[in-house]
Chains A and B, each alone.
Chain A
Amino acid sequence: MRGEDKRKAPAKPPLSDWSRHVPALAARLAVATMMLCLAGSALLALERFVPNWNGTYLLWVSFTVSLEAQIAQRIRQNAMTFSREWLLLLITEWVVLLTAIKVLLYLIHGPARFLADAILWQKDFFPYFFTQEYLVSLTATLVVWLITVSFAGLLAILEEDPDRIAQERLGYVFVDRSQVRGQLAGLIFGLGAGMMVLAAIARIDVGLVQQPPVSKPANLLFMMLFFACGLTLLAQTQLAMLRTRWSLEEIPVSQQIGCRWVISSLIILAVLAGVALFLPTHYSINILGILNAIISILLILVNILMLLVFVPVFFLFNLLASLFASRARLQSYPQLPLPPVPAFNGFTDPIIELLKSILFWSLFFSIIFLSTKFYLSRLGEIWANLRGVPLLSWLADVWRGLINWLRSARETMRNSLGIGIQRMRGRLQRYRHTAPQLPRTPGPRQPRDQVIACYLDMIRRNAKLGLARRSSQTPDEYADMLYDLLPAEEHTIQTLTDAFYEARYSLHDIRPAEVNRVREAVNRIVRALHDLQSDPGHP
C-alpha cells in the first residue's frame, strides 16, 4: 500500500515517561530565560540612549518568542529544508509573530493609538505601520528568533531521538555530539561575552550621554541568571549526550536519573550563585602589607623554635655561674619576641578583610597558574624545545633534584618513624606477654629448626586470628581446617605441611632455600587469613 513502510519504526518513549522529558523541558526553559536576560541587558544599554522609552515588554516578548521558536523549529525539522512545507511553516510563523507584536504594542499604548494609526495607514501604509518602535521590537524579535533557532538546532541533535539512534546503531549515520556540544558552549559563552559588552556600555560614563550609568544590581542579576541558565543548559545537554550513548550501547538506565539530574543541577547552581554574590570583589587590597605580615609571622615561629633549644642551655649556664660567683649577675633569659601588628590601614574589620583578600588573590593567581599550565600543556612542542635551552634545562634539573631529595627525606622520615613505632610496640607487647614465645622470624639456627619454628609460628599467629589448633589435631587435620577456609591457598598449605613433616620426622638434609620458601608460605597463609577476617561478607 502507498506510504506503508514495512520496516518497523522504533517506538518513541511515551509522554508519561517524565524522567526522559523533564531534562528536555528544563533545557527549553533555560534557553528562553537566557533570551530574556539578553534582552534585559540590551534594554539597559539602550535605555541610556533613549531614556524616555519603556521597553520592559521586550523582556516577555523575548521569552515568549524564544519558546515559540523552539516549538516551531521542532515542527519544521520534520520537513525537508527549503521544501514547500518548510517555507510555508516559516512564513506563516513570521506573519503571526509580526501581527502579534503589533497587537501587543497597541495593547500597551491603548486603542486610541490604534485608531489614530489606522487613519494614517490610509495615507501611507508602510511608514506608519512600520514605526520606529515597531522596527526596534521586530529587530529584537528577529535576533532572539535567530539565536533561539541556533540553540534549538543544536539541542535537537543532542536529544535522545530513537530514530536517529537506530540509524546510528546500523551505521547509516554518525553524529559527533562532543563537537555539537562544544558549539553550544561556544554560543553560550559568546553571548555571555556580548552581554558583558552591553553591561560595559550601560556603565560607561563618557559624557556624551546625559543619563547616568545604570545601577549595578540589574545588570548583575541578568548576567548571573544568563550564566546560571547557560550552565543548566550545559548540564541538560550532558545528560542528553550520556543518554544517547547508553541507548546506542543498549545499557538499561535507571528511571531516577532525569529528575535527580535536573533538581541537583538547579540546586547546585542556585547555591553557587548565592555564594558568588557573597564573595568579595574588591581587588585593591594591600597585598604587600599582607605578605609582610606573613613573613613576620614565619620569622617569629623560627625565633620560638630557637628559643626552645637555647633556654635549657641558658639555665645550665646560670646554674654553673651561681656556683662559682656569690653575687654574680645572672644572665637573663631571652625574651619571647612579640609578634608585630600587621599594618592594616583603613579597614574596619581587619581579620575578615584579610581573609577576603587572601581568598581573592589566591583565586586570582590560581586561575592564572592553572590557565598557564593548561595552555603550556597544549603546546607540547614548544615546551619540549624550551627544555633544550641550557639555562632552563639546568633549572629544571635543579628543581627535579630538589623534589627528589625532599621525597627521599620524607620517605626516610616515614620509615624511621614506622620502625620506631614498631619497636616500641614490640617492647610493650613483650612486657605484657607472660608465656615464652617463639620469635616472629627464627634467629640463626639450623634450617631444620627454622622450618619447625616457622610452622609453629604460623600456628601461633593463626591462633591470634581466631583459628587455634586443637592439641589433638595432626598437621594434616590442621591443614584440612585451613584448606576449608582458604581453598585458594591449598598448594601453599600442602607445601608448608609437607615441609614440616620432612623437617620434623625425617633425616633428610634441609636446605636454607627451603626455609625461605616456608617463611613465604607462612606469611601468605597468615595474610590470606587476615584478609578473610577483614572481609565484611565473611561470617
Chain B
Amino acid sequence: MDEFLPFLILLLVVAVLLREEALLTILYLLAGAYLVGRLWTHRAMASLAFRRRLPERVFLGEVVPVELEVRNPSILPLLWLQVHESLPSELATPNYFRRVLSLGGHGQAQERYLLHARKRGLYSIGPLEVKSGDFLGLAGEVKACMPANQLIVYPKIIPLVTTPLLSRFPHGTLKHTSPMFEDPARPLSKRDYVSGDSLRRVDWKASAVVGNLQVKVFESSLSLQVMLYLNLNRDEYDLRWRHPASELAIVAAASLANWITIKKQAVGLATNGIDPIAEGVVFPPIAPKKGRSHMMRILEVLARVQTSTSMTFVDLIQRTIARLNWGTTVVMLTTQANIDLVEEIFKMQRRGLIPILLLFGNVPGFSETRRGLKHFDVPAFLIRDESDLDAWRR
C-alpha cells in the first residue's frame, strides 16, 4: 500500500492550504487507522503465549498426540494468526502442521495432531512459527516463534525369554542348577546329616525336633552383571549392511538390556556411537547397575545414538574394560571379529570376564570364527535379522 502515505501528505497540505477543517478530520481518521493497525498487531503478538504438550519419550510404534495451545492474554483480538509447525518427516506426513486461527480478546485456541513413532531417534518437534497482520494490510506481517521440543523414540524391544548370557557371580536372584552356586539366603529343604557335611549347615532346631541331625539344603542362584559393548563405527560395517546391521545391533542391545532388567540384574552399556545433542561427542560408558531407571537411561542412549567414525571398537573396549568387575559378562555387538578383537576377547578371559560375541549383518567365514572361539569357550552368534532373535523368544 505505497499510496497511503503520499495520500496522507497530500491531504495535510490541502487541508492547510485551503484551511478546510473537514479535511483534517479525514486525515485523523486515515492516520488513526494506519497507527491503530500497526500498533494493534505488534502489541497483541508481543503478549501471545504458546504451549506445546507432548510426551518427551515414546516407544517405537506408538501414536503420539501433540497439543498446541495458543493464548491471547491481551484484550485486543487477533483477527488472524497463521501457525506453522515443522515436523520430522520420519514421524509425520506431511512434515508440517498448519492452521489459521482467530483469537478474540483473552481468547485461546487448542489444536491437536498426531505423530507416528515409526523410527527410533531424537527428533525436534517444531519450531512453531506464527504470523499475523493488521486488518488493513498496511503494516506488514508480524512474526513470532516458539522453539522446538525434543521427542525421543526408543528403539524396538523384542521380548526375550532366554538368552545365552553366562555368569560366575554367586548369590544372586537368578536360579541355577549348579551346586557350586548355593545361596545361604535361599533355604530349599532339610535332609539327614551325612558324614562330610559342614557343622555350620546343621539346623539345630529341626534336629532337636526330629531327634537326628538335620542339615539345611540351599537353592542355587547366581547374579548376572552384564556390560554391553555396541559397535557403531561406520567404517567397520559393510557398506550395504551398514544401516540394517547397526539398527539390528541397537535393537538387540535394547532387547538384552530389557531382559536383564526384568531379571533384576545389572546391565551397562558402552558404545562408540555419537550423541547428536552433544555435538558429535561419543557417549560416556554407563556402568552396570540394576533398576528400571537405569534401564531407561540405557534406552535413551540407544534411542539417540548415531553411527560415527570417531573410535574403533577395539579402542572402545581397551578404554573401558579396566573398570569392569571380575565375573562380568561382556556382550560384544559388532559386525566382524578381526584379529584385534579376538585378542581383546582373550584378554577379557584372562581378566576373569565372560565374553560373548554377537555379530550382525552378512559375516563371511562366520562358521570358522565360531568354531575357533568355541574352542576357547567363547559363544558366538550371528544375527542377520530379527527372526534370528526368535531362538531366544522361546
Contacts and interface: CB of A to CB of B under 8 A. Distances in A.
B206 interface: no
A252 B24 CA distance: 43
A246 B131 CA distance: 13
B31 interface: yes
A254 B1 contact: no
Contacts of A282: 21
A30 to B, nearest CB: 13
Interface in B18-77: 18-33, 36, 51, 53, 56, 77
Given A269-B33, A281-B25, A261 B135 contact: yes
Contact of A203 (B20, B29, B80, B294): B20
Contacts of B1: 181-182, 185
Contacts of A227: 26, 29-30
B22 A223 contact: yes
Contacts of A269: 33
B262 interface: no
A177 to B, nearest CB: 11
Given A223-B22, A254-B101, A279 B28 contact: yes
Given A254-B102, A488-B277, A279 B51 contact: no
Contacts of B109: 254
A484 B4 CA distance: 58
B: interface residue count bin: 35 or more
B212 to A, nearest CB: 47
A251 B99 contact: yes
Interface string B99-114: 1111010000100000
Contacts of B53: 537
B135 A367 contact: no
Contacts of A235: 135-136
Contacts of B184: none
Contacts of B18: 200
Interface of chain A, helix or strand or loop or mixed? helix
Nearest to B282: A491
B244 interface: no
Interface stretch (B8-16, B352-360, B366-374): B8-16
A491 B276 CA distance: 12
B150 interface: yes
A370 interface: yes
B26 A216 contact: no
Interface in A263-277: 264-265, 268-269, 272-273, 275-277
B80 A242 contact: yes
A276 B100 contact: no
A238 B16 contact: no
B82 interface: yes
B281 A491 contact: yes
Interface in B271-315: 275, 277-278, 281, 284, 287, 293-294, 297, 300
B263 interface: no
B79 interface: yes
B75 to A, nearest CB: 12
Interface in A212-234: 216, 219-220, 223-224, 227-228, 231, 234
Given A268-B135, A276-B32, 8 more contacts: A185-B1, A219-B22, A235-B136, A238-B137, A242-B80, A251-B98, A257-B80, A282-B21
Interface of A: 181-182, 185-186, 189, 192-193, 196, 199-200, 203, 216, 219-220, 223-224, 227-228, 231, 234-235, 238-239, 241-242, 246, 249, 251-254, 256-257, 260-261, 264-265, 268-269, 272-273, 275-277, 279, 281-283, 363-364, 367-368, 370-371, 374, 476, 480, 483-484, 487-488, 490-491, 494, 498, 536-537
14 contacts: A182-B1, A185-B4, A189-B7, A196-B14, A251-B100, A256-B102, A261-B80, A276-B29, A367-B9, A371-B5, A483-B297, A484-B293, A491-B275, A537-B51
Interface of B: 1-12, 14, 16, 18-33, 36, 51, 53, 56, 77, 79-80, 82, 98-102, 104, 109, 133, 135-137, 150, 275, 277-278, 281, 284, 287, 293-294, 297, 300
